[in-house]
């Protein structure tokens, strides 16, 4: 127990007791200071995650978030100034950027403009000597069309045999949508991040009202139909000698409770040096390491062999041994120091980022080389930088107190140093990227995966490309997974008809999936009582639309 010393009794202490008391107080102050710095750093990280930009660029120029709006305003102001100027504008310089011709693959619709009369004022007929052509780019919003499948019936008048062509295969038997409409719904939801309630309004403007519940049923049916593709992709993925692995939390609705709990989405992908660019997502309700073992088949005694690039999570540790080799990710180690620099402008973190920058400079140089040449260049240029970084980390660790944010960042790299530098001796291994969550420039894949179609399901894969967001973060899911749940207009009426009372509040919803519940696992999303009351009243300008089954 900590001794309490009254100021009045300090004079009674001996010299040795005073020294012991001073040493104890110094240790206590250092511990408290380290705790304060740790809490301050954690608060700064949380504030930055919520309010600041998530880019991890160091020393790069940041583009304005209003760049598009500024360009539009400048163009509008320029047009107004040209209109108001009494004198003609100054002559433009000779070198002007030329407008690129429109692609020849686009369909053309000709609109001809001819004089009302081809007879000259003198009475002679005009002769056409040429034409001027100006191409304008047009866009027609989505239009509904109807496919009429007519199967003729043919009968033999002699033996009364009836012959008819078989019904073509469809994703949804006896359903309304064609494969093109289903693809549009999926791409809009998972690649363009349009929740179903927004697509509902878009389809209504196009001329046909498709209810949100109907769209959700279509999404669930597509998830089941895509499962063979997922299984085939997993089988192909497990033939690769080097793989990435990472996990991220997602909010999962508990059926019947109207609230969420933390589940996890595990991702397994190929490396940037692999010609196959693929990512398989495995949804699990917990973060237990058994999910990784099951994916790689280690629970059966026989499974995948190779090198796994991952972070320091303990769930991966049981995999490593004779069959699987651990490789670290420099992006995770670098992020620890980047957060220190971004939140506190730490000089220690700034020096560490300089070392990491030199390592990544070498990686950019060897990106297009073969395996042997990549290993040779790394040993020649990156190995000395890594050795200097290790010596610098050891020296800095002796200067910072235990428990501080700086100490934890240094300890992460020191404890995983053999794994973090394993790529220096193996040209097949990348230094470490976390692109699979954000649709990286190399893989061009999005985390918008149909795992939500069969939640809680196993494997899922992103079905469509998505442009990259240069954030480099893997500890937060893709923005497609960060939409809040919007209560359905029909949920109040449905619950009232079923005699189910809606709770007055929804706690713990947090991040969710695209604004809609998980349709296939029948997760109930309880609406607020005021939402139910509002839904029970007719809305001006809108009619109640039945679902199309």
What is the tens place of the pLDDT at every residue in 266-295?
A: 999 999 899 998 899 888 888 888 999 999
pLDDT of residue 173: 87
Query: Is 60 exceeded by the pLDDT of residue 406?
Result: yes
Q: How far apart are CA 500 and CA 318, in angstroms?
A: 46
pLDDT of 177 strictly over 90: yes
Q: Mean pLDDT check: name the lowest of 10-14, 303-307, 484-488.
A: 484-488
Mean pLDDT value of segment 457-468: 34
% of the chain at pLDDT higher than 70:
69
Q: 342 with 48: CB under 8 angstroms?
A: yes
Q: What is the pLDDT of residue 453?
A: 33
pLDDT value at position 259?
Answer: 80
Place of tokens 């045999």: 161
Per-residue model confidence (pLDDT) at position 95: 67
Residue 255 lies in a domain: yes
Q: Is residue 391 a part of any domain in this protein?
A: yes
Over 90: is that where the pLDDT of 450 sits? no
The arithmetic mean of pLDDT across residues 22-39, rounded, is 82
CA 246, CA 465: separation in Å to the nearest integer? 20
Within 10 Å of residue 384's Cβ, how many Cβ atoms? 11
Q: Average the pLDDT over 137-160 and give the result.
A: 88
Helix (H) or strand (E) holding 163: strand 162-164
DSSP annotation string for 173-187: TT-S--HHHHHHHHH
Buried b (16+ CB within 10 A) or exposed e, 436-472: bbbbbebbebbbbbbbbbbbebbbbbbbeebebbebb
- Of the two residues 14 and 233, the one the predictor is more confident about is 233
pLDDT in tens, 212-241: 999 999 999 999 999 999 999 999 999 999
Q: Is residue 179 part of a domain?
A: no
Residue 292 in contact with residue 458, Cβ under 8 Å?
Answer: no
Contact at 8 Å (CB) between 176 and 206? Answer: no
Q: What is the mean predicted confidence (pLDDT) over 386-411?
A: 91
d(CA 493, CA 191): 31
Neighbours of 25 (CB within 10 A): 11
What pLDDT is stored for residue 432 in this prediction? 78
Instruction: Give the CA angle between residues 505, 511, 515 to the nearest 5°.
Output: 80
Q: pLDDT at residue 30 above 70?
A: yes
**What is the number of other CB atoms lying within 10 angstroms of the CB of residue 517?**
22
- Structure tokens of 479? 């923005």
Residue 7: Cβ-neighbour burial (10 angstroms; 0-12, 13-18, 19+): exposed
Q: What is the pLDDT of residue 56?
A: 61
What was the pLDDT predicted at 488? 41
DSSP state of 457: -
For the chain, the domain total comes to: 1
Q: Whole-angstrom Cα distance, residue 471 to residue 435?
A: 9
Residue with tokens 């073969």: 370
pLDDT for 470 beyond 50? no
* Residue 411 covered by a domain: yes
- Is residue 349's pLDDT more than 60? yes
136: Cα separation from own chain's centroid: 35
C-alpha radius of gyration, the chain, whole number: 32
Distances (CA, A) of 219 to 144, 188, 232, 266, 379: 19, 11, 20, 21, 50
Please tell me which residue, 104 or 61, carries the higher pLDDT value: 104
Residue 164 has pLDDT above 80, yes or no: yes
Indicate the range of 2-16, 130-144, 246-260 predicted with least confidence. 2-16
Q: 405-415 vs 330-344: helix axis angle to the nearest 10?
A: 170
pLDDT of the residue at 268: 93
pLDDT of residue 440: 38
pLDDT at res. 315? 87
Has residue 79 got a pLDDT over 50? yes
Instruction: Decide if 220 contacts 187 (C-beta within 8 A).
Output: no
Counting DSSP H helices and E strands in the chain, the numbers are: 15, 8
Residue 249 domain boundaries: 242-470
State yes or no: pLDDT of 445 exceeds 50. no
Strands 279-284 and 162-164 come out as: unpaired
In a domain, 165, yes or no: no
- 435 lies in a domain? yes
What pLDDT sits at residue 32?
82
Q: pLDDT band at 52, cuts 50/70/90?
A: low
Band of residue 427 on the pLDDT scale cut at 50, 70, 90: very high
472-509 per-position pLDDT tens digit: 333 333 333 333 334 444 444 434 444 444 343 333 33
Query: Counting Cβ atoms within 10 Å, is residue 284 exposed (0-12), middle (13-18) or buried (19+)?
Result: buried
Residue 73 has pLDDT above 50, yes or no: yes
Average pLDDT, the chain: 74
Q: Which is more confident, 344 or 115?
A: 115
**Cα maximum dimension of the chain:** 129
Structure tokens given for 74? 């400048």
Confidence of residue 373 (pLDDT cuts 50, 70, 90): very high
Report residue 155 as tokens.
Answer: 């009968």
Arithmetic mean of pLDDT, 455-471: 34
Calpha distance 40→355 (Å, rounded): 26
pLDDT of the residue at 6: 61
Q: Is residue 90 part of a domain?
A: no
Print burial letters for 191-223: b (CB count within 10 Å at least 16), e (below 16).
Answer: bebbbbbbbbeebeeeeebbbbbbbbbbbbbbb
Specify the length of the chain in residues: 549
* Region 61-82 average pLDDT: 60
Whether residue 432 lies inside any domain: the answer is: yes
């Amino acid at each position: 127990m900590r001794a309490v010393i009254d100021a009045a009794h300090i004079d009674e202490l001996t010299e040795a007791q005073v020294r012991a008391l001073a040493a104890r107080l110094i240790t206590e102050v250092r511990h408290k200071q380290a705790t304060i710095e740790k809490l301050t750093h954690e608060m700064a990280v949380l504030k930055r995650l919520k309010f600041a930009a998530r880019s991890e660029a160091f020393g790069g120029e940041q583009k304005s978030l209003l760049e598009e709006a500024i360009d539009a305003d400048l163009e509008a102001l320029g047009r107004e100034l040209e209109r108001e100027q009494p004198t003609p504008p100054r002559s433009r310089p000779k070198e002007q950027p030329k407008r690129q011709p429109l692609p020849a693959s686009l369909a053309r619709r000709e609109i001809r403009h001819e004089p009302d009369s081809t007879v000259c004022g003198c009475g002679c007929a005009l002769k056409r000597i040429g034409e001027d052509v100006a191409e304008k780019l047009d866009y027609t919003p989505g239009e509904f069309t109807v496919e009429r499948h007519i199967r003729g019936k043919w009968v033999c008048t002699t033996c009364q045999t009836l012959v008819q062509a078989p019904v073509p295969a469809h994703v949804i038997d006896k359903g309304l949508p064609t494969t093109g409409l289903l693809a549009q719904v999926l791409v809009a939801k998972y690649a363009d991040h349009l929740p179903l309630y927004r697509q509902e309004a878009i389809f209504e403007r196009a001329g046909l009202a498709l209810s949100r519940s109907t769209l959700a049923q279509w999404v669930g049916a597509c998830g089941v139909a895509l499962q063979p593709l997922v299984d085939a992709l997993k089988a192909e993925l497990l033939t690769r000698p080097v793989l990435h692995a990472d996990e991220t939390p997602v909010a999962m609705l508990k059926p019947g409770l109207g609230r969420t709990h933390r589940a996890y989405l595990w991702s397994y992908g190929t490396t940037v040096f692999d010609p196959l660019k693929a990512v398989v997502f495995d949804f699990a309700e917990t973060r237990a390491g058994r999910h990784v073992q099951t994916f790689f088949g280690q629970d059966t005694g026989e499974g995948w062999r190779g090198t796994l690039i991952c972070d320091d999570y303990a769930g991966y540790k049981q995999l490593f041994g004779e069959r699987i080799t651990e490789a670290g990710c420099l992006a995770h180690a670098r992020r620890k120091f980047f957060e220190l620099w971004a939140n506190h402008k730490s000089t220690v973190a700034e020096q560490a980022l300089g070392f990491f920058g030199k390592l990544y400079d070498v990686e950019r140089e060897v990106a297009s080389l073969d395996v042997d040449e990549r290993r040779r260049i790394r040993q020649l240029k990156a190995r000395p930088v890594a050795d200097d970084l290790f010596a610098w980390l050891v020296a800095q660790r002796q200067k910072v107190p235990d428990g501080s944010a700086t100490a934890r960042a240094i300890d992460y790299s020191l404890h995983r140093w053999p794994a973090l530098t394993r790529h220096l001796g193996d040209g097949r291994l990348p230094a470490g990227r976390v692109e699979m969550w954000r649709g990286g420039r190399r893989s061009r894949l999005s985390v918008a995966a149909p795992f939500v179609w069969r939640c809680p399901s196993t494997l899922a894969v992103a079905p469509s490309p998505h442009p990259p967001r240069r954030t480099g973060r893997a500890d937060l899911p893709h923005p497609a997974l960060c939409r809040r749940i919007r209560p359905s207009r029909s949920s109040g009426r449905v619950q009232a008809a079923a005699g189910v009372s809606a709770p007055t509040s929804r706690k713990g919803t947090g991040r969710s999936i695209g604004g809609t519940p998980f349709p296939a696992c029948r997760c109930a999303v309880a609406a607020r009582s005021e939402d139910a009351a509002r839904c029970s009243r007719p809305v001006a300008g809108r009619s109640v639309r039945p679902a199309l089954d």
